[in-house]
């Protein structure tokens, strides 16, 4: 098949989807903002054709350039796995009359208020929330919803500009800090643990499912610099405490009219055992989550995704063999990494269960931990036993220390 894939080389995991499609024997037509010469070799080898555009997020401009480039050619599929482009992919699909999710369906995955309204209309539990545009609307919503509450952009990503407000003073601070945000969602703060529900779907039915546990919740991991965020995929999806979340997830897919491809949902498990919807995207999770899912079952979901969106089939073995923990590290101090402590000890302790170690090396400039969960690198460790995977992950979180100057 001829698959037009938006952003085939950026963010970096897109390289693997491009590779997966090519390995299945499909023609991959890439559209991205990286100059052709700057594409990674693996992408160059995997693409059949490439259109470089100056502003990938300018939908009108990209649509016009793609139309001019394609001329009379029409691809069989148009897809994207990157959140800012899922709507553009849907618009292009509608323009060319191709199968896949409609603009309206994708809107339900993109606009956090429409999303919650559609999920709630299906009788599923979502945080009480209001769409707000002005300071007055925020204050009125806060009055109605009460504290603690969450104020976050309608089309947010990466937890940017997301604030938890415990009282009026914190709300004032959040209002000040979000002046540049056009539209926000003001919602009830849900106590409890936070998990993902990740799927590959064919016709809205899950052919692959995954759950990962955030330790701690992203909003906490994002507000305290010394925390090393840990995310562990859960091997045993049959355990009773997860069933409300799995059921919620499948029902959310129905409510939003999911068709083919990846989804990445976040949900809360309250102390009472209730599952409450957080948010969902019709694309894979970022920050190496798909690598973690691959390590969980020793499979290649990058390629399986290609099979799903072309042949509408999934072939990998979904047996879950491991709990896979990823630990993001943040150096102490600013500037360049100067040294790493405790890594040797941890590597010896975790031994054969370590699957990746990619901490930034001394001499490298620190990444901005507020902008990217990737922080200053990560380690990945897995184990068939949950407690052991948890212990080894936290041994890395507390035992490995990075310094910068
Ligand atoms: N109603 C809520 N109750 C409790 N916590 C919440 C609520 N809404 C958001 N959060 C916290 O804030 C985080 C970021 O919110 P959300 O996932 O909606 O935004 P985002 O910017 O899309 O984040 P990301 O791209 O990191 O997933 C959540 O992962 C969760 O920890
Ligand atoms: Mg989120």
* Domain boundaries defined on the chain: 2-99, 129-188, 193-404
For 28, the 3-state DSSP assignment is strand
The reply to whether 193-404 shares the fold of 2-99 is: no
Lowest mean pLDDT among 175-184, 226-235, 259-268, 310-319: 175-184
Using a 6 Å cutoff on CB, does residue 155 contact ligand 1?
no
pLDDT-based confidence at residue 180 (cuts at 50, 70, 90): confident
Half-sphere exposure of 142 (CA within 13 A, CB side): 25
In whole angstroms, what is the distance from residue 198 CA to residue 87 CA? 20
Identify the residue whose C-alpha is closest to ligand 1 atom 2.
189
Using a 6 Å cutoff on CB, does residue 158 contact ligand 1?
yes
For 182, the 3-state DSSP assignment is coil
First to last CA, the chain: 51
Fold of 129-188: Dna Ligase; domain 1 (3.30.1490)
Which CATH architecture fits 193-404? 2-Layer Sandwich (3.30)
In whole angstroms, what is the distance from residue 376 CA to residue 365 CA? 9
Point out the ligand nearest to the CA of residue 159: 1
Q: What is the mean pLDDT of residues 256-278?
A: 98
Using a 6 Å cutoff on CB, does residue 157 contact ligand 1?
yes
In whole angstroms, what is the distance from residue 63 CA to residue 49 CA? 17
**Under 8 Å CB-to-CB from 337, ≥6 apart: which residues?**
331, 360, 361, 362, 363, 364, 365, 366, 376, 402, 403, 404
* Average pLDDT over the chain, rounded to an integer: 96
Share of the chain above pLDDT 70, in %: 99
**Under 8 Å CB-to-CB from 194, ≥6 apart: which residues?**
213, 214, 217, 218, 266, 267, 268, 269, 278
pLDDT in tens, 7-62: 999 999 999 999 999 999 999 999 999 999 999 999 999 999 999 999 999 999 99
pLDDT surpassing 70 at residue 159: no
pLDDT-based confidence at residue 112 (cuts at 50, 70, 90): confident
Using a 6 Å cutoff on CB, does residue 218 contact ligand 1?
yes
Q: What is the mean pLDDT of residues 131-139?
A: 94
Which CATH architecture fits 2-99? 3-Layer(aba) Sandwich (3.40)
What was the pLDDT predicted at 287? Answer: 93
C-alpha angle 199/255/93, rounded to 5°?
70
**Ligand 2: centre distance to CA 166 (Å):** 20
pLDDT surpassing 90 at residue 93: yes
């Amino acid at each position: 098949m001829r698959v037009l894939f938006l952003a085939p080389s950026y963010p970096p995991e897109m390289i693997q989807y491009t590779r997966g499609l090519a390995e299945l024997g499909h023609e991959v037509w890439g559209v991205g903002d990286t100059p052709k010469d700057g594409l990674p070799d693996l992408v160059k080898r995997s693409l059949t054709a490439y259109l470089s555009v100056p502003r990938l997020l300018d939908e009108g401009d990209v649509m016009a350039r793609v139309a001019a480039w394609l001329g009379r050619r029409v691809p069989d599929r148009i897809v994207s796995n990157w959140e800012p482009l899922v709507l553009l992919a849907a618009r292009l699909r509608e323009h060319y009359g191709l199968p896949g999710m409609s603009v309206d369906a994708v809107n339900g995955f993109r606009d956090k208020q429409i999303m919650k309204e559609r999920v709630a209309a299906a009788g599923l539990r979502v945080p009480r929330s209001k769409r707000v545009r002005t300071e007055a609307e925020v204050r009125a919503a806060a009055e109605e919803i009460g504290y603690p509450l969450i104020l976050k952009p309608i089309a947010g990503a990466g937890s940017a500009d997301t604030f938890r407000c415990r009282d009026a003073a914190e709300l004032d601070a959040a209002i000040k800090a979000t002046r540049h945000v056009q539209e926000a969602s003001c919602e009830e703060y849900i106590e409890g643990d936070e998990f993902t529900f990740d799927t590959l779907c064919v016709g809205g039915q899950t052919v692959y499912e995954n759950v990962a546990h955030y330790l701690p919740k992203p909003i906490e991991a994002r507000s305290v610099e010394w925390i090393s965020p840990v995310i562990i995929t859960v091997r045993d999806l049959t355990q009773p405490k997860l069933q409300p979340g799995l059921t919620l997830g499948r029902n959310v897919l129905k409510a939003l009219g999911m068709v083919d491809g990846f989804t990445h949902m976040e949900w809360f498990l309250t102390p009472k055992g209730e599952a409450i919807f957080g948010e969902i995207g019709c694309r894979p999770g970022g920050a190496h989550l798909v690598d973690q899912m691959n390590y969980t079952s020793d499979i290649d979901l990058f390629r399986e995704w290609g099979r799903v969106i072309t042949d509408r089939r999934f072939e990998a073995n979904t047996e879950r063999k491991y709990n896979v923990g990823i630990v993001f590290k943040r150096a102490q101090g600013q500037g360049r990494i100067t040294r790493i402590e405790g890594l040797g000890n941890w590597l010896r302790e975790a031994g054969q269960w370590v699957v990746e170690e990619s901490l930034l090396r001394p001499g490298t400039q620190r990444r901005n931990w507020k902008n990217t969960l990737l922080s200053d690198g990560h380690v990945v460790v897995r184990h068939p036993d949950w407690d052991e995977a948890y212990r080894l992950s936290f041994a890395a979180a507390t035992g490995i220390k990075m310094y910068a100057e």
